[in-house]
Amino acid sequence: MIENVKTRYIKYRESIFLAVFIAYYISLVGNGSILYVEGHPYYMVLEFIRDISYLMMAGVFCLNLLCSIYSKKELLIFAAGAVLMAAVTVTAAYIVPCVLWLLMFCAKNISFRKIIKYAAITCSVIMIIFFVLSLFGIIEDALFERWDGSIRHSWGFYFPTNAANLYLPLLLMYMLLRKKINPVELAALFVINCFIYETTDTKSIMFFCTVAILIYIICRLGWLDNILGKAAGMVSVIAAPLGFGAYYYCQKAYTEGNELALKLNALLSSRLKLSAAGMEAFGIHILGQKIAWSTAETAEEVAELGPYNYVDSSFMQYLYNFGVFYLIYVFILYAWFGIKALRHNNTMLTLIFILLIGHAMFDPQLMWLDFNP
């Protein structure tokens, strides 16, 4: 009986994992919608899907154990990581680090290409549905007014930045999946990028998407099929600590009143100022701490959530919220990713890792699965 279960599970293991992964991914991308309000049927459905996903992940991991998918070394690594993630979850009151750790181990020997393919399809479908429904007024297209009077569309999401921040990983996944994108497709991808920028005013995504398209063109023209490609691969291995170090240096220079850092802070919409304020308010802890992040802008929001204290940089936010050990874990993880990409001579992937690290210096999505499958 047990052997029959093992045989059937191994046969369908990849399909089972992909189903669980996509269900969880839908619950994450979907919770950015304007409809995701406690008590709303949409909210209850997504919460149900997420809870079921947690149970299914645990089930997949147990079946992997039953089928001896992991080596003893891998199980020791999992146990050590699980202890760290559990400690971070307790101190930061945030379960996602544990979930991601479990999900990554469940994904052993699952086709990375298939994971990216189905994530890209899912993300595209959700974004198109929200855009169309909000365009026709079926769901609200919440509008946000900037200080200069410009209007930002949310296109069915809760914040105007959601659609933009989903487009970057979608673009990167598409580039990984397509070995050859014709000029018409590239032009269309850039036009979509411009449209998202014009309607959401998300400057960083406009910049990084444009860089991504240029990277794709350079890679596919074969200009990096030599020592430059190898150099990019080696940089990707150490990109995470380099990105953290560069950002921390800029933040420190800002606190010391450096003129260039002050100008950079203005260019980055006060990101250096906010992360420096975070250092003063929260400090650094080994295993992190619980932080009530606030993006309040109006007087009513400030009264409910407290004054604005959000730190956008992935590295600084994780350092304050999840602690020193978690940040080191992120460094190790991305070094490992870079090494694997380098060993497979996947120049496109190594450059994408560098791009993701560059984006993570100024935005918090580096370890958010919905914005970075």
Read out DSSP for 108-134? TT--HHHHHHHHHHHHHHHHHHHHHHH
**Sequence-distant (≥ 6) Cβ neighbours of residue 44 within 8 angstroms:** none
Q: Is the pLDDT of residue 2 over 90?
A: no
The pair of three-digit structure tokens given for residue 361, joined into one six-digit string:
């210096």
Q: Tell me the β-bridge partners of 328.
A: none
Least confident of 142-151, 211-220, 262-271, 362-371: 142-151
Q: In the prediction, which pLDDT does 367 show?
A: 95
Count of CB atoms within 10 A of residue 17's CB? 23
SS3 145: strand
Q: Is the pLDDT of residue 5 over 90?
A: no
Identify the residue whose tokens are 């598409």: 174
Task: Report which of 152, 172, 158 is spatially closest to residue 34, judged by C-alpha positions.
Answer: 158
Task: Report which of 189, 195, 233, 202 is spatially closest to residue 362, judged by C-alpha positions.
Answer: 202
Tell me how far CA of residue 143 lies from CA of 128, 158, 187, in angstroms.
Answer: 18, 10, 28
CA distance 127 to 219: 28
CA distance 168 to 171: 5
SS3 157: strand
Q: How confident is the model at residue 67 (pLDDT cuts 50, 70, 90)?
A: very high
Q: In the prediction, which pLDDT does 48 show?
A: 97
Q: Rounded mean pLDDT of 132-138?
A: 95
Alpha helices in the chain (DSSP H): 2-30, 41-66, 72-92, 96-106, 112-135, 160-177, 183-200, 203-220, 227-237, 239-255, 259-267, 271-282, 299-305, 314-322, 324-343, 347-360
Long-range CB contacts (within 8 A, 24+) of 71-80: 74/105, 74/108, 78/105
One-letter amino acid for residue 213 of the chain: I
Q: What is the mean pLDDT of the chain?
A: 93
Q: In the prediction, which pLDDT does 222 show?
A: 77
Q: In the prediction, which pLDDT does 291 show?
A: 96
Q: Is the pTM of this model over 0.85?
A: yes
Contact status, residue 180 vs residue 220, Cβ threshold 8 Å: yes
The pair of three-digit structure tokens given for residue 169, joined into one six-digit string:
């990983």
**Sequence-distant (≥ 6) Cβ neighbours of residue 268 within 8 angstroms:** 362
Q: How confident is the model at residue 133 (pLDDT cuts 50, 70, 90)?
A: very high
Contact status, residue 89 vs residue 95, Cβ threshold 8 Å: yes
Q: How confident is the model at residue 250 (pLDDT cuts 50, 70, 90)?
A: very high
CA distance 180 to 185: 10
